[in-house]
Amino acid sequence: MSFGTMDPNHAEVERQERGRARARGRGRGQQRQVISDEIRATVVHVVVHGRTMKEAGQLVQPNLSRFTVASIVRTFRRENRTERQQSIGGRRRLLTAEQETALVNMVIANNAITLREIQTRIIEDQEIFQGTNSISLSTIDRVIQQNHIRTKQLYRVPFERNSDRVKEQRFQYTMFEMDAMADPHEYIFIDEAGFNLTKRRKRGRNIIGHRAIIQVPGQRGGNITMCAAISNRGILHRHAVLRPYNTALLLQFLDQLHNNILQQEGEPGQPEQAQYVVIWDNVSFHRAALVRTWFNDHPRFLFLPEYSPFLNPIEEFFSAWRWRVYDCNPYTQHNLLEEMVNACEDISLESIQGRIRHTRGYFPRCLAREDIMCDVDEILWPDPDLRQDHADVDADADEPVYVLNLEVL
């Protein structure tokens, strides 16, 4: 080995030795020695009476370093104290509990507010956030996260959805349905929905850094419009066309539906001479003069309240129907029609009846004329103690009787 170079292995050994030498002291992660106030006062007393730093450390406490003694004496001479200062744990909180509550209320009042808008309001509002001249976006985000607020997809609600006029329509609609429960009425829910080839799920999974890809047909193709009618008996009738629905097609659908109902009335177990009520939305061709004329000699019909699709169970029925079709990935219109028929047959009668019961769960809020923002459970039942979704079983009945809880009103 030459004199101008050093063996790398030898250098590594020397570095390890230096690390061990440093570790003999207070190593990394080892707690710092805490000196009580009584020992601090004793150390100062011994040093004042002529002892050296090293002697004072050995007399008071054997493990007390002379450097620690010097620090205690220096603090006494500068600040005239021997007590330890309380640990403040880093920086103080920028916002008080009341100010954090005000910040959270901003988000609750406006779900679309941004972090920069919150920052501007905090700096401008010196009445609540007094003394807060600056605050970072990361601090605001941390406070929001600590209060269990997360970024979500915005649910769009029309302004008119909870107007007094629409609330009154919901009230009258609910009263009509509840009054008709005592009579042998059968409610028929009708709606139209469009299907096409390019509809697929918008979210998927893949390795980080790679796109989630799904193959779809190059041509969208024409929309296939499906009109369907459901009731507590299941799917009464369905009809698909390769174009939008209009008044003429709707009249044909109603004629076929009427014939199907008349044929089913003669079957065993079906109600005889029942009064039928058709419920659908307010699309323009539902209110056409020819349609109103058709209902003069046929079952009654009832319009849903405006901006209230949650009162029509066929909306959820079509949603389940669509995804059953699209999960099969049809690639031609012929395949699409086949999958539409197959998916319709897969939907059970119990699921349809459950969706009808689910819409009636809104009746207490409609009767109370409350605001209904969306149809998710945490909005439908803000207080879980007021929820009654169990079945009261009658011993003489073949099926459970579901009771609507109106005590919340």
**pLDDT single digits (tens) 17-54:** 555 545 455 555 556 677 888 888 898 988 888 888 88
Q: Would you say residue 386 lies in a domain? A: no
Q: Tell whether 247 and 268 lie within a shared domain.
A: yes
Evaluate if residue 394 carries a pLDDT over 60: no
Q: Tell whether 137 and 236 lie within a shared domain.
A: no
Q: Tell whether 80 and 112 lie within a shared domain.
A: no
Percent of the chain with pLDDT over 70: 77
Our CA dihedral for 91, 92, 94, 99, rounded to 10 degrees, sits at 160
Evaluate if residue 409 carries a pLDDT over 70: no
> Residue 149 carries which side chain, given as an amino acid letter?
I
Q: Tell whether 280 and 131 lie within a shared domain.
A: no
Inter-residue contact 122 to 100 (CB < 8 Å): no
Q: Tell whether 76 and 177 lie within a shared domain.
A: no
Q: How many domains does the chain have?
A: 3
Sign of CA dihedral 51, 53, 58, 61: positive
In the block, tokens 């699921």 appear at 351
CA distance 353 to 234: 8
Q: Would you say residue 76 lies in a domain? A: yes
Q: Would you say residue 257 lies in a domain? A: yes
At residue 137 the predicted structure's pLDDT band, cuts being 50, 70 and 90, is: very high
Q: Tell whether 235 and 142 lie within a shared domain.
A: no
What angle in degrees, to the nearest 10, is found between the helix axes of 66-79 and 37-48?
Answer: 90
Q: Which helix (H) or strand (E) holds 264?
A: helix 247-265
DSSP 95: S
Using DSSP's 3-state secondary structure scheme, residue 13 falls into: helix
What angle in degrees, to the nearest 10, is found between the helix axes of 349-360 and 313-326?
Answer: 140
Inter-residue contact 92 to 100 (CB < 8 Å): no
Q: Tell whether 249 and 174 lie within a shared domain.
A: yes
**pLDDT for residue 291:** 86
Cβ neighbours of residue 332 closer than 8 Å, sequence gap 6 or more:
197, 217
Q: Would you say residue 299 lies in a domain? A: yes
CA distance 47 to 406: 83
Domain of residue 194 covers: 164-200+219-365
Q: Could you tell me the strand order of the sheet in which 224-231 lies?
A: 234-241, 224-231, 185-195, 275-280, 300-303
At residue 106 the predicted structure's pLDDT band, cuts being 50, 70 and 90, is: very high
CB atoms within 10 A of CB 37: 11
Average pLDDT of the segment spanning 241-253: 90
Out of 120, 146, 172, a domain closes at 146
Q: Would you say residue 376 lies in a domain? A: no
CA distance 261 to 243: 26
At residue 140 the predicted structure's pLDDT band, cuts being 50, 70 and 90, is: very high
Summarised one tens digit per residue, pLDDT across range 261-320 is 877 766 655 555 667 888 888 888 888 888 888 887 776 666 788 888 888 899 888 888
Average pLDDT of the segment spanning 239-243: 87
Using DSSP's 3-state secondary structure scheme, residue 402 falls into: strand
- CATH number at 357 reads 3.30.420.10
